[in-house]
Structure formats: structure tokens, C-alpha cells
């Protein structure tokens, strides 16, 4: 083996891959064929040990479920007050009336009608009340059945009855006593459809075989062949076993078979059920299936080997070609060459995906470098603008304060009011460069602007402020109401004949703070969100868009500005921003 690897080192990677893949495929395919044949030869033992036993376990579990359902039904009948009164307190009724009443009660109690074929209750006078759904006539319990139930401490299972159509029923019989008083009312017989048992194992048998249920007295309880149901096998050694599960070679109806026998568990034995599940498998059909498997494995193995050889040669060339292309790109990028073209060729294997990822990574790196340079340049411009914005407003509102004091000393109240309002407007606008101010400060900013407008246009404008005191101290994004009030005055009130009014409302709505700026101006028909840019600009769309984009960038897409307007009636602009969470709610969220 070491000599083989040493010799392979003399070849190129492509040739080494081809040789190694061919050797691996030959060895693996040959091993699969040989092992498959060996497994097929030992299939009989493994099949019986695993599949048949597990299948019989499933059948036993299903039979146990049916038995439990029947016992549960019998228990429901014994505790039913309606049936007790029918047999004890309503004896004055006729037999026919009591029979009808019993059928009505059983119609309500019986759930699994696909399992139960009939119910018979024999009273103390040996009169039989029957509940038989529509269908063929069924053999009723005879005196032997009644005597057997009366003389047994346990329920009786296993008697087989048939109807006129040839369908078989397994009889369950027990004493029918009142659950609460212990009073003996008679005997209860429940007929279980044999087909309910047969359906459980009909499809759970191996090829060339079948299963059936037999009692310890060799009487057949359930069988795929209806003629065998109720038949007694006199050869007691054929289906005898002392173990929970066993299988053996035997002859059944003149044919060599493998017989697998499983006894029911102790739970059913304690209920008086001494049954066994028997699976009969034809050796001839089983070995014929094994031969077919061998031929199929050989055919599939040969086809796989041929396809694998062709695939090995093809993929070896594809892999090495992708590796060579990736190597060339790495060398070119290392030397500072141009960026690679997107895509890695027609192949979609791991190497091609790696090549494509490498191309995207290089392009992404170059794009990030370019964006980083742009961001640095933009940051320098913003820093310069911010510095200018800090210097100029400080100078302006300090100067305005001085003018206001001079106006006050000169007893010019109107000039003082106008100047102080303008100074307050600039002071709050700057607010030490902070991004957020309180709702109270934002309202003061609006009031200062409105005061200036009222001084400019006397008698033209009135304003109301309805702000919830609970939100006045909450922080919000700065300068989001003043542009809206300015638009309302400029585009709503000024074009209107006569004076106008603006109302500013603020309140909390769950996790949001909501402001409404309403004017009774001229209004318009353009929708802020759906109309063209020209239509939006008619109502100061630039200022609205600026506020809307700032709010969405800060609080998310669920917040922003909405606008409602009606010609001649006025306009309402609604602003939703995020509210800070209450400390109690934050503690509750952190605790959860």
C-alpha cells in the first residue's frame, strides 16, 4: 500500500484523483455486492428474529387495545343507571318496550361500532335483550354459553359465532352485576367482529406468509381464511410453545414452512385470554425472494460501478480545473491586479462555490474601502457644519437676549415679547447640540414660533395646546412639531380669508407618543403618502418628509407622519414617536 502511494506522488493531482477514485469505487462496489449477497443468505434468521417478532408485538398490542376497549365498554354498561333502572325498576314495561329502551341507551354508549357487532343481555329469567345493528342475523348466545358465564369467576373469551353472511364474531361474556349495589342482573355478551382482529395483521405479514390467532385449546379465533375460523387443530405440537416467542421449521398443509409463535402477555392472561399469534412463512417463497434480491443487487451494483467510473473521471477534471482557476485569481489579487469577474464557471461543486465566495469577498472589500473613504469625507463635512451651527445660533440668541433687555428698559413690550420668543426658539433649537428634548421644551419651541407669527400677522392666528401632563417630561426627537405648525400657518391659515386656529394635542397611546396638529385652513386634496412630489410640496412636503424620515430612522418603520386633509375644512397631521418604557415595565420584562 505504501508503495502504491509513493508511486502516485509521481503523477499530477488530476491523475492521482482519477486513480484513487477508481480504486475506491472498485473496492467499495465489490464489497457492497459481496456483503449484500451474504446478508441475503442470512436474511431468513434476521428476518424472523427482528421483523416477524416486532410485527407480532404490534399485533399483540393492537389486540390488547381492543380487549381493553371491550372491558371498558362492559364497565360503562354496569355503571349505567339507565340500564339498571330498566332491569330493576321498570319491570312493569313490556319486553318489547324495554328492548327498544335498551337499544336507545346502547346507541348512545357504543362508540366503536366498527369493532362491536352485537350486544346481548340475558336477564335472570333467561330472556335475551339484543342490540344488533342493521345487517345479517347473528347466532345468539345458547344455554351452554350462559351456563359457562354464570359458573365462571372471570370473563369468558373465545367462543366463535357467525352470521348468515358467513362473517365471524368473537364472543366476550361476563356476569352483568350492578356496579354500585352488586345486584346480579344477568349475563352480558359482547360480540367482537373477527374482521377487527384480521385488519390488524392483514398487511403486517411477510411475503409468502400469513398470520392468525389461535387459543390454547387449538381453536382458531381469527384467520385470513373465513372457513378456518372456529376450527380446532388436533395436532397440539404444531403450535405449542413454552416461551413468549419462538419459531421452528415444520410442515403445514403439505408444504415446508417456518412457524413463528408468540404468546399474549400476562395482562391478557389475567383477563382470561389464553391466545397465541401464529405466523406461517413459506420457505419456497422466502428463498425465491432472496434469489431475486441477489440478482437485483448484482444488476444495481454493476450499473453503479459503471456510472461511478465515468463520474470519477469527470469530477476529477472538474475539481482540478476549479482549483487551477482559483489559484490564478489568488496570484493576480496578490500582485494588485484588477478585481475578479463575478462567477466561478459552470460547475457548482464546493470548489466553485469557494471561488464564487472569494470573488464576492474581494468585491466586497473594495466596496467597503470606497464607502469608508466616503464616510470619512462626509463626517468631516458634518463636523464642520455642526461647528458652524453651534457658533452661529449661540451668537444669534445671545444677541437677541441683549436686544430683549434693551427693549424692556425702553418699555417696548411688543418688541421685547417678539425678541424673547425668537431667542427662546433658537435656544431650544440648539439645546447644547442634544438630539432629544422633552415634550415640554418642544411645546415651548412651538409656542415661541407661534408668538412670532402672531406678532407678524396680528389677529390672523390663534393657537390651543392640549398636552397630557403625563408626557410633558418624556424625551422625544427634537424639532418634529415646529415644521408641522409652520406648514399649517403658511399653507393652511394664511391663504384663508379671515382668522384661523391651530390646535396641538399630545397624548400617550401604548408604547407611542402621539401628536396631532390641526388647522381650520383651506385644506387640499393631495395625500401626503400617495401623491406626486409636486402635490406634496404644495403643503410643505419637504418639511413633512424631513420630519417623517428622521422619525423613521430613529424609532423604526412603525412610526412617522400621516396627513388627513379636506378642502375648505382644514388639515390634521398626526405624528407617532416611540415612548420610553416605564421602569416598572422594564423590570418586569427583565425578570421574565
Secondary structure class of 535 (helix, strand, coil): helix
Query: Tell me, what DSSP letter sits at residue 538?
Result: T
Q: What is the pLDDT of residue 289?
A: 61
CA distance 337 to 323: 19
Phi, psi of 163 (to 5 degrees): -100, 180
Between CA 126 and CA 147 the distance in angstroms is 11
Contact 213/157 with Cβ under 8 angstroms?
no
What is the layout of strands, in order, in the sheet containing 500-509?
A: 461-467, 500-509, 512-519, 570-578, 560-566
Report CA dihedral (478, 480, 485, 487) to the nearest 10 degrees. Answer: 130
Nearest of 525, 447, 432 to residue 485 by alpha carbon: 447
Q: Which residues contact 331 (CB under 8 A, 6 or more apart)?
A: none
Res 469: pLDDT = 95
Q: How far apart are CA 182 and CA 185, in angstroms?
A: 9
- CATH number (3.30.70.2470, 3.40.50.300, 3.30.450.20, 2.30.30.140) of 12-303 reads 3.30.450.20
Residue 234, SS3 per DSSP: coil
Give the pLDDT of residue 392.
Answer: 54
Architecture of domain 434-587: 2-Layer Sandwich (3.30)
In which residue are the cell numbers 430612522 written?
553
Measured distance CA(26)–CA(3) in Å, rounded: 19
Supply the pLDDT for residue 389. 47
Rounded CA separation 29/307 (Å): 11
Rounded to an integer, what distance in angstroms lies between the CA atom of residue 282 and that of residue 444? Answer: 99
User: 437 exposed, middle or buried (CB, 10 Å; 0-12, 13-18, 19+)?
Assistant: buried
Cα–Cα distance between 452 and 445 in angstroms, integer? 11
Beta bridge partners of 513: 508, 577
Q: In degrees rounded to 5, what are phi and psi of residue 580? A: -65, 145
Q: With contact defined as beta carbons under 8 Å apart, do 172 and 160 qualify? A: no
Domain ranges of the chain: 12-303, 434-587
* Strand-strand pairing, 436-438 and 255-263: unpaired
The stretches of 410-481 forming alpha helices (DSSP H) are 413-430, 439-456
- Triad 144, 145, 150: Cα angle to 5°: 95
Q: How far apart are CA 28 and CA 49, in angstroms?
A: 29
- The 10 Å Cβ neighbour count of residue 378 is 10
570 bridge partner residues: 566
- Give the predicted TM-score (pTM) of the model: 0.43
Q: In whole angstroms, what is the distance from residue 400 CA to residue 394 CA?
A: 10
- pLDDT of 3: 56
The dihedral formed by the CA atoms of 41, 44, 50 and 56, expressed in degrees to the nearest 10: 160
130, 350, 439, 588 from 309: Cα distances, Å: 74, 20, 77, 66
The separation between CA 469 and the C-alpha centre of its own chain, rounded to angstroms, equals 46
539, 487 contact by CB (below 8 A): yes
**Three cell numbers written together for 511:** 408604547
Q: What's the sign of the alpha-carbon dihedral 372, 375, 376, 377?
A: positive
Q: Which pLDDT value is given to residue 294?
A: 67
Q: Which three cell numbers stand for residue 173?
A: 361474556
Query: Do residues 135 and 163 make contact, with C-beta atoms less than 8 angstroms apart?
Result: yes
Helix (H, G, I), strand (E, B), or coil: what is residue 345? coil
**pLDDT by 10s per residue, the chain, length 592:** 445 445 545 555 656 666 777 777 777 777 766 776 666 656 655 666 677 778 878 888 888 888 888 888 888 888 887 877 777 766 677 778 888 888 888 887 776 777 888 888 888 788 888 888 767 788 888 888 888 888 888 888 878 888 888 888 989 998 888 777 777 888 889 898 888 888 877 766 666 678 888 888 888 888 888 888 888 887 777 777 778 888 777 777 777 888 888 888 888 888 778 888 888 887 777 666 666 666 777 777 778 777 777 776 776 666 666 677 777 777 776 666 665 555 545 555 566 677 777 778 878 877 888 887 887 776 556 544 544 444 455 556 656 666 766 777 777 777 767 777 777 766 666 655 577 889 999 998 898 888 888 888 888 899 999 999 999 999 998 888 988 998 999 899 999 989 999 999 999 999 999 999 999 999 887 554 454 444 445 555 557 888 888 888 889 888 999 999 889 889 999 999 998 876 554 444 444 4
Amino acid at each position: 500500500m505504501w508503495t502504491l502511494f509513493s508511486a502516485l506522488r509521481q503523477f499530477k493531482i488530476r491523475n492521482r484523483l482519477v486513480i484513487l477514485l477508481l480504486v475506491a469505487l472498485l473496492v467499495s462496489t465489490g464489497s457492497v455486492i459481496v456483503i449484500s449477497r451474504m446478508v441475503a443468505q442470512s436474511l431468513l434468521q434476521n428476518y424472523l428474529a427482528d421483523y416477524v417478532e416486532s410485527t407480532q408485538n404490534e399485533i399483540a398490542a393492537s389486540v390488547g387495545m381492543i380487549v381493553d376497549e371491550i372491558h371498558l365498554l362492559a364497565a360503562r354498561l354496569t355503571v349505567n343507571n339507565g340500564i339498571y333502572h330498566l332491569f330493576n325498576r321498570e319491570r312493569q314495561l313490556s319486553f318489547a318496550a324495554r328492548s327498544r329502551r335498551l337499544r336507545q341507551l346502547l346507541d348512545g354508549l357504543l362508540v366503536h361500532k366498527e369493532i362491536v357487532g352485537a350486544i346481548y343481555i340475558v336477564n335472570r329469567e333467561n330472556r335475551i335483550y339484543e342490540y344488533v345493528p342493521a345487517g345479517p342475523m347473528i347466532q345468539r348466545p345458547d344455554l351452554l354459553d350462559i351456563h359457562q358465564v354464570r359458573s365462571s369467576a372471570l370473563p369468558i373469551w373465545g367462543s366463535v359465532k357467525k352470521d348468515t353472511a358467513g362473517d365471524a364474531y368473537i364472543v366476550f361474556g361476563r356476569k352483568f352485576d350492578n356496579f354500585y349495589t352488586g345486584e346480579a342482573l344477568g349475563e352480558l355478551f359482547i360480540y367482537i367482529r373477527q374482521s377487527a382482529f384480521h385488519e390488524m395483521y392483514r398487511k403486517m405479514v411477510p411475503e409468502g406468509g400469513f398470520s392468525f390467532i389461535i387459543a390454547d385449546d387449538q381453536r382458531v379465533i381469527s384467520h385470513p381464511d373465513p372457513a378456518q375460523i372456529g376450527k380446532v387443530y388436533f395436532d397440539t405440537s404444531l403450535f405449542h410453545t413454552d416461551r413468549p416467542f419462538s419459531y421452528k421449521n415444520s410442515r403445514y398443509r403439505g408444504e415446508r414452512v417456518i412457524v413463528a409463535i408468540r404468546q399474549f402477555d400476562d395482562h391478557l392472561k389475567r383477563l382470561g385470554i389464553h391466545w397465541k399469534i401464529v405466523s406461517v412463512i413459506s420457505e419456497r417463497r422466502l428463498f425465491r425472494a432472496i434469489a431475486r434480491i441477489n440478482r437485483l443487487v448484482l444488476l444495481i451494483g454493476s450499473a453503479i460501478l459503471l456510472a461511478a467510473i465515468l463520474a470519477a473521471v469527470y469530477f476529477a477534471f472538474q475539481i482540478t480545473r476549479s482549483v487551477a482557476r482559483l489559484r490564478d485569481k489568488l496570484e493576480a489579487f496578490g500582485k494588485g491586479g484588477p478585481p475578479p469577474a463575478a462567477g466561478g464557471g459552470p460547475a457548482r461543486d464546493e470548489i466553485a462555490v469557494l471561488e464564487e465566495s472569494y470573488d464576492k469577498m474581494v468585491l466586497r472589500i473594495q466596496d467597503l474601502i470606497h464607502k469608508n473613504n466616503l464616510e470619512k469625507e462626509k463626517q468631516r463635512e458634518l463636523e464642520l457644519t455642526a461647528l458652524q451651527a453651534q457658533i452661529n445660533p449661540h451668537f444669534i440668541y445671545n444677541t437677541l437676549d441683549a436686544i430683549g433687555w434693551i427693549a424692556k428698559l425702553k418699555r417696548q413690550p411688543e418688541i421685547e415679547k417678539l425678541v424673547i420668543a425668537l431667542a427662546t426658539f433658537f435656544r431650544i433649537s440648539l439645546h447644547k447640540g442634544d438630539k432629544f428634548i422633552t415634550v415640554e421644551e418642544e411645546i415651548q419651541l412651538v409656542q415661541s414660533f407661534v408668538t412670532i407669527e402672531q406678532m407678524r400677522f396680528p389677529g390672523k392666528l390663534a393657537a390651543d395646546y392640549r398636552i397630557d401632563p403625563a408626557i410633558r417630561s418624556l424625551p422625544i426627537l427634537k424639532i418634529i412639531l415646529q415644521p408641522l405648525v409652520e406648514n399649517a400657518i403658511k399653507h393652511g391659515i394664511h391663504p384663508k380669508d379671515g382668522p384661523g386656529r391651530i390646535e396641538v394635542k399630545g397624548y400617550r397611546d401604548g408604547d407611542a407618543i402621539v401628536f396631532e396638529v390641526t388647522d381650520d385652513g383651506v385644506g387640499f386634496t393631495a395625500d401626503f403618502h400617495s401623491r406626486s412630489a409636486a402635490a406634496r410640496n404644495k403643503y410643505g412636503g419637504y418639511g413633512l418628509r424631513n420630519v417623517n424620515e428622521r422619525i423613521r430612522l430613529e424609532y423604526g418603520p412603525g412610526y412617522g407622519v400621516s396627513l388627513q386633509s379636506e378642502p375648505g375644512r382644514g388639515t390634521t397631521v398626526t405624528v407617532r414617536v416611540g415612548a420610553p418604557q416605564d421602569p416598572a415595565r422594564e423590570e418586569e420584562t427583565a425578570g421574565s
